[in-house]
């Protein structure tokens, strides 16, 4: 089944946000932190440029698009590519430009499935994403911003590492100083303090050990719970996938009941009226079957046969 015709219950739509963002950032050399940052359409255009080099008019793409009008221009470029490649996927521009996370996540999930199919799950090693963005409006600024964020991240890591080293060194010096301080009063309190310190340390270790055991037990229980949930999810997903395949059969696709089931399967998450619409489809079928006109038509058909 091609990526342009995958159903909403396909495994492609179960890819998480973190995996999607990691894939986009590694493929396009970007630093997106949210899926809605792709709402301008520029990211979608460049993803198509990765799998179909030269097909996208990158000089018409704007990575600096802020207004809906500028974003729509990017989607016009994307739609033009879809038309050239005869891709039947509908682009819901009015929803995507609003920056809603769910809509952009779904479209990115589809994009990943399409790109994986075209490239056989391999990234084009000769594609230079930063260089290709140079010809786009705002592309150079985007590249500088990505480089700046990368440098800032490395500096933060180095600073944190140096701070940890200094803290550890200071603690070590304090411990050394405390341990090397001689007992000046000669009253034998040093031995008593050491024994008390050993007892406290032993008690603390026992508490820590018990706490670790509790955490390990909780983690094990959570892992078992997650495993059971994943099995249950896969079970119901398989059932729904079987139903979807059955409903796509040519000999059944025209039946109203099948259409009602498909309406429920392909409904978006925020469509609260889908059940009512499916019921209305079935009630309309019942009215057509029981209407007097249908009975008269049957009688006429009988007369013609006689």
**Rounded Cα–Cα distance for residues 68 and 95 (Å):** 11
For residue range 52-73, list pLDDT tens digits in order: 999 999 999 999 999 999 999 9
CA distances to 15, 93, 223, 242 from 233, rounded to whole Å, are 14, 31, 15, 14
Instruction: Provide mean pLDDT across the span 223-242.
Output: 82
> Can you give the pLDDT at residue 305?
42
DSSP reduced 3-state for 155? helix
Instruction: Provide mean pLDDT across the span 228-254.
Output: 82
**Rounded Cα–Cα distance for residues 112 and 293 (Å):** 51
In percent, the amount of the chain with pLDDT more than 90 equals: 38
- Residues 89 and 153 sit within 8 Å (Cβ to Cβ): no
134 in a structural domain: yes
For residue range 71-98, list pLDDT tens digits in order: 999 999 999 999 999 999 999 999 999 9
275 in a structural domain: no
248 in a structural domain: no
112 in a structural domain: yes
Using only C-alpha atoms, the chain has a radius of gyration, in whole angstroms, of 32
255 in a structural domain: no
Nearest alpha carbon to residue 45 among 8, 17, 21, 71: 71
88 in a structural domain: yes
171 in a structural domain: no
Nearest alpha carbon to residue 20 among 149, 115, 84, 117: 115
> Can you give the pLDDT at residue 74?
97
83 in a structural domain: yes
What's the residue count for the chain? 306
Please tell me the least confidently modeled range out of 36-45, 58-67, 149-158, 242-251. Answer: 149-158
Please tell me the least confidently modeled range out of 105-109, 205-209, 278-282, 293-297. Answer: 293-297
> Can you give the pLDDT at residue 52?
93
Q: How many other C-beta atoms can be found within 10 angstroms of the C-beta atom of residue 89?
A: 14
Q: How many other C-beta atoms can be found within 10 angstroms of the C-beta atom of residue 282?
A: 13
What does the mean pLDDT of the chain come to? 79
CA distances to 103, 165, 166, 175 from 172, rounded to whole Å, are 53, 11, 10, 5
What residue numbers bound the domain in which 139 lies?
3-145
What CATH number does the domain containing 96 carry?
1.10.418.10
For residue range 125-154, list pLDDT tens digits in order: 889 999 999 999 999 999 999 887 766 655
For residue range 196-214, list pLDDT tens digits in order: 767 778 778 888 888 888 8
**Rounded Cα–Cα distance for residues 48 and 129 (Å):** 12
Q: How many domains does the chain have?
A: 1
> Can you give the pLDDT at residue 125?
82
Look-up: residue for tokens 């059971």?
228
């Amino acid at each position: 089944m091609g990526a342009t015709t995958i159903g909403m219950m396909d495994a492609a739509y179960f890819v998480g946000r973190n995996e999607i963002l990691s894939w986009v950032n590694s493929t396009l050399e970007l630093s997106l932190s949210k899926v809605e940052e792709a709402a301008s359409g520029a990211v979608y255009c460049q993803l198509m440029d990765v799998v179909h080099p030269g097909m996208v008019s990158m000089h018409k793409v704007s990575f600096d698009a802020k207004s809906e009008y500028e974003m729509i221009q990017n989607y016009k470029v994307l739609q033009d590519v879809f038309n050239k490649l005869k891709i039947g996927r509908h682009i819901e521009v009015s929803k995507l430009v609003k920056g809603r996370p769910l809509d952009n996540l779904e479209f990115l999930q589809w994009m990943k499935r399409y790109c994986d199919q075209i490239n056989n799950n391999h990234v084009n090693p000769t594609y230079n994403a930063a260089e290709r963005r140079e010809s786009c409006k705002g592309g150079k600024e985007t590249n500088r911003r990505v480089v700046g964020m990368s440098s800032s991240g490395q500096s933060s890591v180095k600073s944190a590492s140096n701070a940890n080293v200094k803290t550890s060194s200071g603690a070590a010096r304090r411990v050394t100083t405390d341990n090397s301080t001689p007992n000046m009063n000669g009253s034998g309190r040093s031995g008593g303090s050491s024994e008390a310190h050993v007892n406290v340390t032993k008690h603390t270790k026992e508490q820590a050990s018990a706490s670790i055991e509790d955490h390990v037990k909780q983690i094990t229980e959570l892992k078992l719970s997650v495993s059971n949930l994943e099995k249950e999810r896969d079970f119901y997903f398989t059932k729904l996938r079987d139903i979807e395949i059955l409903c796509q059969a040519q000999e059944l696709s025209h039946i109203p009941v099948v259409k009602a089931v498909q309406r429920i399967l392909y409904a978006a998450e925020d469509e609260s009226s889908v059940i009512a619409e499916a019921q209305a489809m079935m009630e309309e079928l019942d009215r057509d079957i029981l209407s007097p006109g249908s009975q008269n038509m049957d009688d006429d058909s009988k007369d013609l046969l006689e």
